[in-house]
Amino acid sequence: MNFIPPDFTPAYSEIFLLVMVCVVMLVDLATGEKRRYITYLLTQAILLGCAFLTFISFSTETTYTFSGMFVDDAMADILKIMVYITVSAVLVYSYTYVKERGILTGEFFSLILFATLGMMVMISASHFLTLYIGLELLSLSLYALVALKRDSIVATEAAMKFFVLGALASGFLLYGMSMVYGATGSLHVSKVAEAIQNGVGNHEVLVIGLVFIVAGIGFKLSAVPFHMWAPDVYQGAPTAITLFIGSAPKFAAFAFVMRLLIEGMGGMVTDWQGMLVILAVLSMAVGNIAAIAQTNIKRMLAYSTISHMGFLILGFISADWNGYSSSLFYVFTYVLMTLGIFAMIMILSRSGFEAENISDFKGLSKRNSWYAFMTMLIMFSLAGIPPMVGFYAKFAVLQAVVNAGFIWLAIAAVIFSLIGAFYYLRIVKFMYFDAPDTEDPIIVNNDVKVLISANGLAVLALGIFPQSLMGLSLYAIQNSM
């Protein structure tokens, strides 16, 4: 039998990245501590290169390769490009912060790039195992990143929790996948979908498998009741790493749900719809209510993330292109806002001082009115107040939910988002209504200054002109289903 080499074209950007990560590790050996900025610039260049490769291979056609285990469609390309942009922004925001804390090592860059590769594989997976490999690559890199500051007790504890719970979730997921395999005889997303459609396989086994898979998804999305790791990890990890965990992997998580649940097990919509309703309602309730009680800003944002993931899940519940594209739009806006707010926390931190508490935002408008204004835009956006983009995200998702006939769910969602508005307003209150505790000037590099301004203004501008991002998410979904 002749060996036919697979078509590598759809995976060029992944292959390029894999090769380049190795190059980064080698180059870093040569640059050493003093010239680590070379590694940094190289990393940024690699991301640019990946973006270029993804961009030129962009087409509306769906191509499969590696015996159908790997897919390249419009949604994958768009999500990947978003991942590159996000990772690149994360690096810009965290460079100084990481440097001042002595964790600007070569591993920092290579782990971030490996995690990026993991996300890309997840996004492009069309086979349950590919999905799992991508997920593990991402997760293992993240565990290591959280523990990067190894003499910090909280960071180590966070990494340990993250690892144990993450491993448990992976176990759940694998177990669920094996059930599905047992029932359908395949792990190919399309074949599983076909088998479910044709009623092949034992329904009970499939449902049990589905429960495990949904639980695994719940862990990865940090949806209640699988959310326990999120507050500890968000709080314990260095802020730069929290920023990374909270931003780009959400794209991968979205793709994860799309590939596994929608494309793979779409035929069991009536079975998973109810489960997702529970996850969504609990996430919105617990996330928003628990966030009120927090004094640590990172912990508060972790609970806020949980509630936002509840909103994100709402879009999947409606189980049509309208809902999925609304969810995708939600992910875009959520990541944009998360980038901004964690960047602000890092801006407020200095060497030897961690901005950890909500009260560290006190009097920000007097210390620097521009950053306060940017933070305010992001806060109102997170709370879903127009004209900020966060409103349109909520609006799109609610619209999908009402369209699917779940009006009561929409009403519950707005009630919880009303509760949520309180803790976002509290930050605005600290910034604008209170006097500052310290008069220390806020020193920020120019690149961060430009990026945070662009980030904050984008929250407003995309709110005034939401069509571009909405159109993009619609395009991504419609050309991939």
Q: Six-digit token pair at 340?
A: 């901004």
Q: Which of 414, 442, 450, 457 binds another protein (CB under 8 A)?
A: 414
- Among 81, 167, 207, 425, indicate the residue that binds another protein (CB under 8 A): 425
Tokens of 209: 């498998």
List the Cα angle 125/226/130 in 5-degree steps: 15
Between CA 336 and CA 463 the distance in angstroms is: 12
Write down the least CB distance from residue 311 to another protein, Å. Answer: 13
399 near another protein, judged by CB under 8 A: yes
DSSP 387-444: TSHHHHHHHHHHHHHHHTT-HHHHHHHHHHHHHHHHHHHHHHHHHHHS--S-------
Residue 181 or 432 having the CB closest to another protein: 432
| 436 counts as binding another protein under rule CB under 8 A | no
Stretch that binds another protein, among 61-69, 122-130, 304-312, 428-436 (CB under 8 A): 428-436
Closest distance to another protein from the beta carbon of 157 (Å): 35
Judged by CB under 8 A, the residue of 278, 421, 461, 481 near another protein is 421
Strand partners, 357: 296
Number of residues located near another protein, criterion CB under 8 A: 33
Q: How far is CA 78 from CA 246, 283, 400, 472, in A?
A: 19, 27, 22, 8
Contacts of 228 (CB under 8 A, 6+ apart): 165
**Which residues within the stretch 333-392 sit at the binding site for another protein (CB under 8 A)?**
369, 380, 385-387, 391
CA dist 74 → 258, 326, 479 (Å): 13, 16, 6
Can residue 471 be called a binding residue for another protein (CB under 8 A)?
Answer: yes
Nearest distance in Å: CB 376, another protein: 8
Q: Which C-beta is closer to another protein: that of 305 or that of 365?
A: 365
Q: Is 228 in the site for another protein (CB under 8 A)?
A: no
> In the bound complex, what is the minimum distance in angstroms from residue 467's beta carbon to another protein?
4
CB of 277 to another protein, least distance (A): 17
* Residue 458 contacts residue 336 (beta carbons within 8 Å): yes
Could you say whether residue 55 binds another protein (CB under 8 A)?
no
Contact flag: residue 422 with another protein (CB under 8 A): yes
Tokens read off for 131: 């999905």
Residue choice 24, 470, 476, 477 for contact with another protein (CB under 8 A): 470
Q: Where do we find the tokens 């998410």?
A: 473
Among 432, 454, 479, 481, binds another protein (CB under 8 A): 432
Asked if 465 interacts with another protein (CB under 8 A), we say yes
Taking CB under 8 A as the binding criterion, the range among 19-27, 232-240, 258-266, 407-415 that sits at the site for another protein is 407-415
When binding is defined by CB under 8 A, the residue of 395, 453, 454, 478 that contacts another protein is 395
DSSP string, 30-58: HHTTTTHHHHHHHHHHHHHHHHHHHHHT-
Residues 293 and 291: their CA atoms lie apart, in Å, by 5
Half-sphere exposure of 36 (CA within 13 A, CB side): 17
> CA angle, 357 as apex, 352 and 360 as ends, to 5°?
75
Q: Contact between 52 and another protein (CB under 8 A)?
A: no
Asked if 48 is part of the footprint of another protein (rule: CB under 8 A), the reply reads no
Position 477 contacts another protein (CB under 8 A): no
Q: Give the whole-angstrom CA distance, residue 98 versus residue 173.
A: 33
Closer of 340 and 466 to another protein (Cβ): 466
- Based on the shown chain and the rule CB under 8 A, indicate whether residue 407 belongs to the binding site for another protein: yes
Quick one: 291 or 428, whose CB is closer to another protein? 428
Distance CA 414, CA 411 (A): 5
Distance CA 425, CA 404 (A): 31
The owner of tokens 């944009």 is 336
Site residues for another protein, window 157-176 (CB under 8 A)? none
429 binding another protein? (CB under 8 A): yes
Q: Binding of another protein at residue 274 (CB under 8 A)?
A: no
Instruction: State the residues that interact with another protein by CB under 8 A.
Output: 369, 380, 385-387, 391, 395-396, 398-399, 402-403, 407, 410-411, 414-415, 417-418, 421-422, 425-426, 428-429, 432-433, 465-467, 470-471, 474
